[in-house]
Structure formats: structure tokens, C-alpha cells
Amino acid sequence: MSRITNPTAKRLSEYLLILERLSAQGTRTLSSRELADLYGNTASQVRQDIFSLPRGGESDPYGYDVDKLGLSIRHALGMDALRSVAVVGCGRLGTTLALHVPLEDYGMKLAAAFDVHPDIVGTRLKDVHVEHSVHIPRVCRQEQIELAALSTPAEEAQKIADALVHGGVKGILNFTRVQLRLPDSVVAENRQIVCGFIQLAHKVSDLNNDASADALSDRDMPS
């Protein structure tokens, strides 16, 4: 069914943030070119991405309706559902995830939280009480948890992941620095923050190289 590839899904989720901002500012309509300029890609790619949505965008020579396009994206990306999410590892990062990520706005809700530390177990995070990680399989089944964010120390990560799988969790957003071994029926999305910094640093050096290469070729081949 959903023939939305991963690169396209990534961009669609980011378009959605842009569309919401525009909508809040009162913009009713925009063209593929305008969205491309805001996002930093090409109008052609924007149209191709929208073309992959089951419902397309809107009308012909007036561009897209901001709100309708947003709804199309939500629908296509499965945000009509209400998926239950657990946060495992309620240290600084886990707490941040639980408190500051607006899951409710995107078809998800925080439905459980786990930790092993006695000072943290029993405290409250938003609408849930932090339970001990030994209860992961039971509570996940009870609450029908579908997705989990993993923000434990590296040492526990694989064991916790195994427990989540036992609990019937289908997707893990992995912030730990270990590569999880999971059955084929469960997907992980890696979000090691340090890798973000590394990739950024590489992009910056790349930019410098390009720039000096350009300068060089400008020198070598005078127009």
C-alpha cells in the first residue's frame, strides 16, 4: 500500500512543520516553488513528494491549500491513529522527550515511562507514573504500547530493547549509542545525538573543501 519511501516520508514530516507555521501565520495557499524555497529543495521534488500522497494536494494553477495539504500528509503518514508511546530511561534526555515533544499533535500520546533508579521510579511525568523497567513487558501489553523512545545508559540498552520486544512494541527510537539487535518485525530509528554533531562537522568541512575547490578552478580556468 503506502508507497511512500523513507526519504519522502522524512521530507513530508518536515514539510508538515513548515505548513503548520504558515497556517498559524495566516497563509492559506502556497505553490510547490514557495515550499521548495522554504525547505531548501526543488519545486520538482516537492511535487513528486506530494504526488506520492494517496490524496494529492489541491486544485491546479493556484498552488496548494496549506491546511488541506497538511491533512493529506498527516493521513499518509498515519497520524490519524492514536499510537501509545513509552519513554524508557527517564534521565535528563528521557524527561525532555516526555515533557517537551508534542506527541499529541501528531497522533501519538505518552502512555508509559520506565526507569530503574529508585529516586525516579514512582515520580510523575505528565500523565504517567514512572514504573520500574522490570515491568516493561507487562505494562507495554496492558497499555498497548506501539512505540518507545530509548534513552537509557548504553549498558542496559539491549536488555531493555529485548523487554520492549516482549511487550509487543513495534518501533524503537534509539538515542543510545548501541546498535540494537531486533527481530525483523520490529524497527529501530537511530538518533544518536553525537552522530548529529559528527555529521554536521563533516558537512562543514565539505563546504570548505567545495569553496576552496571552486576558488582553485576559478583560478585555473579563467572565463
Partner DNA sequence: TAGATTGTTAATCGATTAACAATC
Contact set for its own copies, span 99-118 (CB under 8 A): 99-103, 105-108
Task: State which of positions 22-41 bind DNA (CB under 7 A).
Answer: 31-33, 41
Main-chain phi, psi angles of 110, to 5 degrees: -70, 120
CB neighbour list of residue 68: distance below 8 Å, 6 or more residues apart: 57, 58
Query: 182 near 200, Cβ under 8 Å?
Result: no
Site track for its own copies across 156-195, x = CB under 8 A: --------------xxxx---xxx-----x-x-xxxxxxx
Cα–Cα distances (Å) from 26 to 59, 151, 175, 218, in that order, read 19, 37, 36, 45
Please say which residue, 38 or 43, places its beta carbon nearer to its own copies.
38
Task: State which of positions 52-71 bind its own copies (CB under 8 A).
Answer: none
- Strand 171-174 with 128-132, pairing: unpaired
Binding residue for its own copies, selected from 134, 201, 215, 218, defined by CB under 8 A? 201
Query: 57 near 50, Cβ under 8 Å?
Result: yes
Check binding of 59 to DNA (CB under 7 A). Answer: yes
Q: Which does 60 bind (CB under 5 to 8 A by kind): DNA, its own copies, none?
A: DNA
- Tell the smallest beta-carbon distance from residue 114 to its own copies (Å): 17
